[in-house]
Structure 1
Amino acid sequence: MDTTLLDLAIIVSGSIGYFISIALVTTSFYKSRANKYLAISLFLLTSLTFLGSYEIGNFVLQFLDNIMLEFLVAGTLFTYFLIQIQHKYLIKKRYRLFYFPFIGSVILEFCVSFFDIVLNIYNPDFDAITYDIKDHVSFLYNVLLIFWGRYLIKKSNTISIEKKRWLLRLNLFMICIIICWFLSNIELYVYDSEYVTNFLWILLSFLTWWVLYYGIFKLQIIAQKDELHKYLVSKKTVNTSVKKKISKATVSKIITELYVVMEEEELYKNPLLSRLDLANRLGTSEGYLSQIINQEINKSVIQFVNEYRIEAAKNLLQDPVFNKYSIEAIGMEAGFKSKSVFYKTFNSNSGMSPGAFRKLHKMS
C-alpha cells in the first residue's frame, strides 16, 4: 500500500474530522446536546487515527495513547445513542458510570508516570503488560457498549424511522471498525504485518466523510422535517392541506371515501404508503382500487397520491413562513421518501424544479 497516499488520506480526513467536531459545538444550526457527544466521539476517533498511524515520540502524545482514549469513545458514543432515543438512563444520570473505566485508566497511567519520572523506577515489562491489559479491556468495553447501544436503538419507539435508521447505520459502521480492530491485533501478533491496520486507518478516515453527509447534513434535514411537521400540527389554522373537488361524474363510493381519507387523514404524507395500505384502509382489494381510480379519475394510484404530495409541497414552498426550511425537508414532509423522487415528480408535474418554483414565488 502506498504510504504517501495513506498519509495524505489520513491528514485530509483528520482535518475534516476536527473541523466537523468544532462546527458541531460552535454553530448554532447544529448545536445540540446530542451533537456535542457526537462531536467529542468524532474528535477522539480522529485523534486515535493520528496516534495509531504515526510513530509517537512526544511524551504528551505517548501519555494520551497510554490512557486509552478508546474507553472515552465508547462512553461518549453510547451517551449519544441514549440522548437520541431519550433513554431513562439520562434522567437518572446513570450514563456517567460509563466513564469510570476511562477515569480508572487515567489514574493508572498517572501512577505509572509518577513511578517513572518522579521516583525514577521504570519497569518496561510491567509497562507493556499494563498497556496490553488496558488495550484488551478497552476492546471488550467497546464491544459491550456498541452492541448494547444497538439493542436499545432497535427497542426504542420514541424516535422517527429516519433517525433510527441513521443510528443503526452509525452503530453498524462502528461494529465494522471494531472487527477491523480485532483483526489488526491478530494480524500483528500472528503475522507481524499491518495490512489490516492500514485498512482500519482508512476506515476511520472515511468515517469523517460519512458522518459529515449522513450524520450532519441528512440528519439535519430530518430534524427540519420534524420541526416543520410539529409546526403544522400546532398551527391548525395554517392552510397547507390539499382539497380537491370531486367530479360530478364520480359516483363510486370508494372514490368518495378515498378523497376523504386523503384530505382529512393526509395519508399521502406517509412516504411508505403503498397501494395495499390504501386498499386496506378503504376495505377493498388492490386490483379493484387501481381499476376504479383509472376508470373514474384516469390516473394510476401513484399518480393520484403524488398529486396530493406535489400540491402540499407547493403550498409550503410558496408560503414565506417556511422559507427557512430546506427544499428536501419540505419534500419529506409532503410524503416523498427521497430527494431524487421529489425533484423528478415535481419537475414532471410543474415543468420546473422545486427550487425554481420557490424562487418564482419569492419574486412575485
Structure 2
Amino acid sequence: MNKTILDFAIVASGIIGYFISISLITTSFYKSRANNYLSLSLFLLTSLTLLGRYGAGNAVLAFLNYIMLDFLVAVTLFTYFLIQIEHRYLKKKWYKWLYFPFFSSLIIEIILHLDSIFNLYNSDFAVLVFYIKDNTSFAYNLFLIFWGRNLIKNSNTISEEKRRWLLRLNFLIVCIIASWLLFILFNSEYVANFLWIIISFFSWWILYYGVFKLQIVAQKDEIHEYLASKRTNGTQTKKKINKTTVSKIITQLHILMDEEELYKNPLLSRLDLATRLGTNEGYLSQIINQELNKSVIQFVNEYRIEAAKNLLQDPVFNKYSVEAIGMEAGFKSNSAFYNTFKTSLAMSPGAFRKLQKTS
C-alpha cells in the first residue's frame, strides 16, 4: 500500500514537472531566456526521477539513465542562476566547456554499454566506469550548485527579494544533492524513497517559488525601474507634505517618506525611522500617536496603500499582477497587502483595480 502511494506521488509529480517545464517555454507570462534553462532543468530532473525509479526494466530507458543526464542538470541550473544575476561568465569562452562532462559521458556510455543493452560485444569495464561517472557526477553537481550559490550571494545586480528566492531555490537543490549523497553512502531503499520524494516535491516547489513568486519579483523590479526612470526624468508628482502639524519631527518624517520612499522597504522598522530622525522609538511612537492619532505601522501603511492605489489605477501597470504591485508598495507579503488594503478601503486590491477600469 505504501509503495502504491509513493509510486502515485512520484508519477503525479512527474506529470506536474513535465507540465511546468512545457508551460515555462510556451506561456508568454513566463517566457524568458532564464526560464528556458529552468524548464530544461526541471524536465531533466523529472526524467531522472522516473528513469531512476522505473527505467531498470526497459533497455531504452536504462540506456537513457546510463548517459548521466545529471551532468546536464548541473550546467542548466548554473546557467539559469547566471542569467538571473546577469553575470559576465555567460560571455566567457570557457563557459561552453561546462557541457563537456555530459558529452563525454554520452560517448563513453555508447561505447561501453552497447553490450549490456543490445548484446553487440563484451565490455568488462562498464560497471567500473559507471561507478566512476556516478561519483564524478555527484561532485560536479555539488561544485556547480555551490559555485552558483556563492555568485548569487555576492551579486550586486539583483534586488534582495530576488536574491532570497534564488537562494531558496538553490537550497532545495542542495537538499537533493544531500539526499543523493546519503543514497550513495548507504544504498538504502528508505533513503532512495526519500530521494524520490524530495525530487518529486521539487516540481511543486518550482511551480510556486521558482516560477510564480520569482515572476512576481521580476515584475516588481520592472515596476520599480519604470518609476525610477520617471523620477530621473522629473515627471514624478510629489506628494504634498503636511505642514499643519506642530512637531518638526512629523514634518521631517513626511519628507523622508515623500522624497526617499522609505515605506517601500518591507523590513522598515520603528527603530529605522527613529534612527533616521535622530530620536528614540518611544518618542517617535508617542509623537505620531499624539499628533496623527495612529501608530507607526499605520502611518507607514497609509503611504504604502496610497502608492498601491496609484499603481492599481494607472493603466500603464495593468499588465502587472496585484502581488507585484503590493511588493513594490512595500508590503512584505501578499496576505499583509490584502488585509491592510481591505481594512483601509473595504475592498480587495483586485476589486479596486476592476472598479477603476469600469469607472
Shift of 1:187: 2.4
**Paired position in structure 1 for 2:24:** 24
**Paired position in structure 2 for 1:129:** 128
The 10-residue stretch of structure 1 (305-314 or 273-282) with the greater mean CA deviation from structure 2 = 273-282
Query: After superposition, what is the alpha-carbon deviation per residue over 1:211-255, rounded to whole angstroms, capped at 9, x for unaligned?
Result: 00011111111111111111122234898766245253x122111
Q: Quote the Cα distance in structure 1 between the aligned partners of 2:342 and 2:120.
A: 75
Task: Please tell me whether the aligned partners of residues 13 and 204 of structure 2 are also in contact (alpha carbons under 8 angstroms).
Answer: yes
1:246 aligns with 2:242: yes
Task: Please tell me whether the aligned partners of residues 327 and 355 of structure 1 are also in contact (alpha carbons under 8 angstroms).
Answer: yes
Q: Partner letter of residue 104 of structure 1?
A: S
Q: Calculate the TM-score normalised by the size of structure 2.
A: 0.94
Unaligned runs of 5+ in 1: none
**Paired position in structure 2 for 1:7:** 7
Q: Calculate the TM-score normalised by the size of structure 1.
A: 0.93
Q: How does 1:276-295 map to 2 (within 5 A)?
A: 276-295=271-290
Task: Please tell me whether the aligned partners of residues 240 and 312 of structure 1 are also in contact (alpha carbons under 8 angstroms).
Answer: no
Q: Quote the Cα distance in structure 1 between the aligned partners of 2:119 and 2:165.
A: 50
Q: Quote the Cα distance in structure 2 between the aligned partners of 1:134 and 1:24.
A: 31
Aligned residue for 2:125, secondary structure, equals: helix
**Paired position in structure 1 for 2:68:** 68
**Paired position in structure 1 for 2:266:** 271
After the TM superposition, list the runs of 4 or more consecutive aligned residues in structure 1 that deviate by more than 6 angstroms. 115-119, 237-240
Q: Quote the Cα distance in structure 2 between the aligned partners of 1:341 and 1:304.
A: 15
1:362 aligns with 2:354: no
**Paired position in structure 2 for 1:233:** 228
Task: Please tell me whether the aligned partners of residues 232 and 238 of structure 1 are also in contact (alpha carbons under 8 angstroms).
Answer: no
Q: Quote the Cα distance in structure 1 between the aligned partners of 2:159 and 2:26.
A: 26
One of 181, 199, 214 as aligned partner of 2:209: 214
Q: Quote the Cα distance in structure 2 between the aligned partners of 1:53 and 1:241.
A: 60
Q: Quote the Cα distance in structure 2 between the aligned partners of 1:120 and 1:46.
A: 30
Unaligned runs of 5+ in 2: none
Distance 1:44 1:117, change over 3 A: closer
Aligned residue for 2:182, secondary structure, equals: helix
Task: Please tell me whether the aligned partners of residues 82 and 90 of structure 2 are also in contact (alpha carbons under 8 angstroms).
Answer: yes
Q: Partner letter of residue 19 of structure 2?
A: F
Q: Quote the Cα distance in structure 1 between the aligned partners of 2:82 and 2:175.
A: 21
Q: How does 1:89-238 map to 2 (within 5 A)?
A: 89-113=89-113, 120-123=120-123, 125-188=124-187, 193-236=188-231
Task: Please tell me whether the aligned partners of residues 113 and 126 of structure 2 are also in contact (alpha carbons under 8 angstroms).
Answer: no
1:53 aligns with 2:48: no
Task: Please tell me whether the aligned partners of residues 25 and 36 of structure 1 are also in contact (alpha carbons under 8 angstroms).
Answer: yes
Q: Quote the Cα distance in structure 2 between the aligned partners of 1:340 and 1:122.
A: 63
Q: How does 1:338-353 map to 2 (within 5 A)?
A: 338-353=333-348
Q: Quote the Cα distance in structure 2 between the aligned partners of 1:179 and 1:76.
A: 19
Query: After superposition, what is the alpha-carbon deviation per residue over 1:238-294, rounded to whole angstroms, capped at 9, x for unaligned?
Result: 98766245253x122111111111111111111111111111212222222112111
Distance 1:215 1:116, change over 3 A: closer
Count matched residues.
358
Q: Quote the Cα distance in structure 1 between the aligned partners of 2:118 and 2:219.
A: 55
Q: Quote the Cα distance in structure 2 between the aligned partners of 1:153 and 1:319.
A: 34
The 10-residue stretch of structure 1 (131-140 or 87-96) with the greater mean CA deviation from structure 2 = 87-96
Q: Quote the Cα distance in structure 2 between the aligned partners of 1:115 and 1:53.
A: 22
| C-alpha RMSD over aligned residues | 2.0
